[in-house]
Chain A
Amino acid sequence: MNSTEFSVDRRDIRFVQQELLQLAKLTELPRFKDFTPEDFDMIVEEGSTFVEEVFAPLNKSGDEIGARLDNGKVTTPPGFKEAWRQTAEAGWVGITSDPAFGGQGLPISVAVGVLESMYGANASLYTTAMLTAGSAGLITAFGDQAQKELYARRMIGGQWGGTMCISEPEAGSAVGDITTSAVKASDGPHYLIRGTKCWITGGDHDFTDNNIHLVLARVEGAPPGPKGISLFIVPKFRVDPQGHCVDSNDVTTVRLEHKLGIKASPTAVLEFGAAGDCHGYLLEGENLGMAQMFKLMNEARLQISYQGLGSASGAYRNALAYARERIQGISIERGKDRAAERTPIVRHPDVLHMLMTMKATTEGARALIYATAYYSDMARHGPDDTRQHFKDLVDILTPVAKNTGADQCHEAVRLGVQVLGGVGYTEEFPLAQALRDSKIASIYEGTSGIQALDLVTRKLRMRGGGLFQTLLREIGDLAQNQALLPQLGQAIAEWRDATDKLELTVASLANLAEELGPREGVLNASDVTVYFGDVMCAYYLLKMALIAETRLVEMGAGNSAASNAEGSGLDEQSARETARNSEEARFFYNKIKTAEHYVFQILPRAKAIAAKVQSRNFAALEAMMEEVG
């Protein structure tokens, strides 16, 4: 771990996967019975090494050079094409894809242990892989056998790329307004596609011979709005049944966007059918496009949370390493003693506060995101009678996890820049790029505002608030736990209080919507999503802290003479002493401190959010902001 290179937080990932979530038990499910827990560990370990050796070294040069479009041809920065080849050949593109079509079929909750680092080490490179696997997943879910064999298999293997073409110049977040048209051809099973799509991640590149676009379009005569949208497979090059590219398919790359970050990821504007000769192949049936797209979108939203997480994790490790090596100033307790020895900045309280906020934010987000991924595995592959329970948890937590990964983790990266000070603001250290790159997470696959609306107006209202009640029952177990250390007990009580108030705040929002109208009901939707995320992160951090207490006791912490019916005699002093002895014990001790820091230094913002909602002040809605002049 150093201040300039990306490194994977293997220890924390292992802790979340093995000790908090105990993913080994997934191998008891029929779907994962061919795996052993050792396979999972090895995949995450080797994947981490792959990321550090193949993804990370290209991140900076990729940012400097960027993807380019010259004479209609896209070139990615040097090394990217070779890295893609290695990633594809090693099988990482299809890490969670259907094994029937060449995928590796791993649980999402295991795969995230590698994917967060792919994002953190080189988001530009990974985005294309993510969209390729995601769009292939749509074909394996909704395509016919021939489409699965011809397209999905090659996409999962990384021989061809894949994209999702949703937005248009006049239809971004409002997907129902798209105008790209599809006309049934008179001379074959295909449709003729015509329209312009924008913000296409991996829209064109030099990684592969072909690029398979999944395009949302409106069939002639279809109903207006979201109900009249269909999904089409539109390859860049038409192919014969053996998969040879035989003909150009009238897909033109109009432009690449010049972006704030992820500059090596080609974000394209694509024109379909400029010459009236773009063939699209319908997926499943007409007018099913929105529902199909949301299958990808829900998975993609969770994936985007990995991006912020990976960036924050890398930034935290860089910032911590820097703070340990950078000597500056005198410890505050030495006062004005100018002769005092200069100290590493990691001793300054303000720097420590920032580092702990980064750590707590990152580790809380990691636990929330991995847990949501685990619920997703269980919703699909768990025992039949538990699937609805886990699906409810996934549905309600997906927007929360996405915003936590995108917004809170971005904030952690910002703190990383701050820890480094002046050099953090330069491109000499990776924090500046991480700050720029990670910003996108709050924008694509549904902005943070869209996630907040999804939570407040859909997920919290589904089945009369039933999903929320399921979640509250799920996390209610924490209050039953008895902490050994008194300050951890206080933290749990504080969390319990914040959780109770979250229920009240959610009820207040619903009341506002009912009494005053929908605008008032959603004015603080983003704030409440933050509150929700804080409660969840604190929940998992506290659970991890309880595990850490047990581990410390196993490692000899606690005063055995003080042992009594109440417990081990673990106290702060003996915990510290044990922590001095080994890196492993220090990991556990700091895990407890991380939970405390989150509960007492971050979670209190929930009170401010509750106050905003209680204020019933709607100045933002009342101000005359629409009128010109």
Chain B
Amino acid sequence: MNIIVLVKSVIDVELNIRVKDGEVVKDGLNYILSKWDENALEAALQLKEAGDGEVTAVTVGPDRAGEALRKALAMGADKGVHVNDPAAAGSDAFGIAKILAKVIQRNAFDLVIAGRQSQDTDLGATGPVLAELLGVPLAVNVIEIDPKPAGGKLNIKRKGDVGVELIEIALPALLTANDSLNEPRLASLRGIMAARKKPMDILTLSDLGIDPETVGAAGSGIEIVEFQPPPQRAAGQKFEGEPEEIARQVVELLANEAKIFA
């Protein structure tokens, strides 16, 4: 099975991010592989291990995105494709999907797996738009994949609005991964060493025959005007006195102010 995994390098949100003058302060930021992408990659690796095939990790981004790709290779992806072109910067989900579609359409593929959203923008649009551009069926928020495709179809479960949906999806298809899909493996030292020798294609927009005006900030339908820091959390309320009295006050507040029993 030929599997494509979409990966993205994102700011590590576990560190304190500061906003100054409407911009994120870039000093000392750490970039990591977006965590839902790790689930997507793990799913691809499990499918490969259950049968056979090849896993290709693809990213669009600046130099530092290469680190996310190297991590994917270290975890076990067989090869990487990095679209690194300054004209791609500022793309909206549609622009990124257009670029990815061009990369993916260069070869035959059976399955594309993405994270259900990226950890930085939380948009969740790239996967669905890409499925449309590729003209393949889509299932988002996937929580289980039967590793054995049968008759060109894959049995999966996804978390839907009202419960878990069991879906038979025809390949080629595009799935986006929920974080309960699996427990991503750690990159091993052997994996990192092996990754050094794995092929990595570095492409520009012109290599893909994409007009720079149609993607990037130039082709984007949206513009990020400003970042604002999240509001400071208000101070909590402190209760003093005997436990019985405190419990009474807390229950009263929960009932009358928070109205959790309503």
Contacts and interface: CB of A to CB of B under 8 A. Distances in A.
Interface of A: 34-36, 38-39, 42-43, 46-47, 49-50, 53-54, 89-92, 95, 104, 555, 581-585, 587
Contacts of B67: 38, 42
B48 to A, nearest CB: 18
Interface string B65-79: 011001100100000
B104 interface: no
A91 B193 CA distance: 9
Interface in B165-217: 186-193, 196
Interface stretch (B2-10, B14-22, B154-162, B220-228): B14-22
A46 B189 CA distance: 8
A582 B186 contact: no
B25 A34 contact: no
B196 A91 contact: no
A585 B70 CA distance: 29
Contacts of B196: 34-36, 39
B12 to A, nearest CB: 10
Contacts of B27: 555, 582, 584-585
B25 A582 contact: yes
Contacts of B191: 90
Contact of A90 (B20, B70, B71, B186): B186
Contact of B71 (A42, A47, A555): A42
A102 B74 CA distance: 18
A89 B188 CA distance: 8
A92 B189 contact: yes
Interface in B8-61: 15-16, 18, 20, 25, 27-28
B188 A581 contact: no
Contacts of A35: 196
B135 to A, nearest CB: 37
Name the interface size band of chain B.
20 to 34
Contact of A42 (B15, B16, B70): B70
Contact of B186 (A38, A42, A46): A46
A581 B25 contact: yes
A104 B190 contact: yes
Contact of A46 (B18, B20, B192): B192
A19 B150 CA distance: 54
A445 to B, nearest CB: 25
Nearest to B15: A583
5 contacts: A35-B196, A36-B196, A42-B192, A90-B191, A582-B18
B179 to A, nearest CB: 16
B70 A38 contact: yes
A49 B186 CA distance: 8
Contact of B28 (A50, A104, A584): A584
A90 B28 contact: no
A64 B20 CA distance: 48
A42 B74 contact: yes
Contact of B187 (A46, A89, A584, A585): A46
B190 A91 contact: yes
A155 to B, nearest CB: 16
Given A42-B187, A46-B192, A91-B188, 11 more contacts: A38-B70, A39-B192, A42-B70, A42-B74, A42-B192, A43-B192, A46-B189, A89-B188, A90-B191, A91-B193, A104-B193
Contacts of B192: 39, 42-43, 46
Nearest to B66: A38
B25 A90 contact: no
A39 B192 CA distance: 7
Contacts of B188: 46, 50, 89-92
A277 to B, nearest CB: 38
A43 B15 contact: no
A14 to B, nearest CB: 10
A574 to B, nearest CB: 16
B112 to A, nearest CB: 26
A518 B217 CA distance: 77
A512 to B, nearest CB: 49
A91 B16 CA distance: 33
Contacts of A583: 15-16, 18, 28
A54 B189 CA distance: 14
A581 B28 contact: no
A488 B239 CA distance: 48
- The 10 A-B pairs with the shortest beta carbon distances in the complex, nearest first, are A584-B28, A90-B188, A91-B189, A91-B190, A584-B27, A46-B187, A582-B27, A50-B186, A582-B25, A90-B189
A54 to B, nearest CB: 8
Nearest to A11: B28
Given A38-B67, A581-B18, A53 B189 contact: no
B182 to A, nearest CB: 15
A587 B29 CA distance: 13
B15 A104 contact: no
A583 B66 CA distance: 25
B118 to A, nearest CB: 20
Nearest to A587: B28
A581 B16 CA distance: 12
Contacts of A49: 186-187
- Most interface-central of B16, B66, B71, B190 (chain A CB within 10 A): B190
Contacts of A53: 186
A53 B188 CA distance: 13
A35 B18 CA distance: 34
Nearest to A50: B186
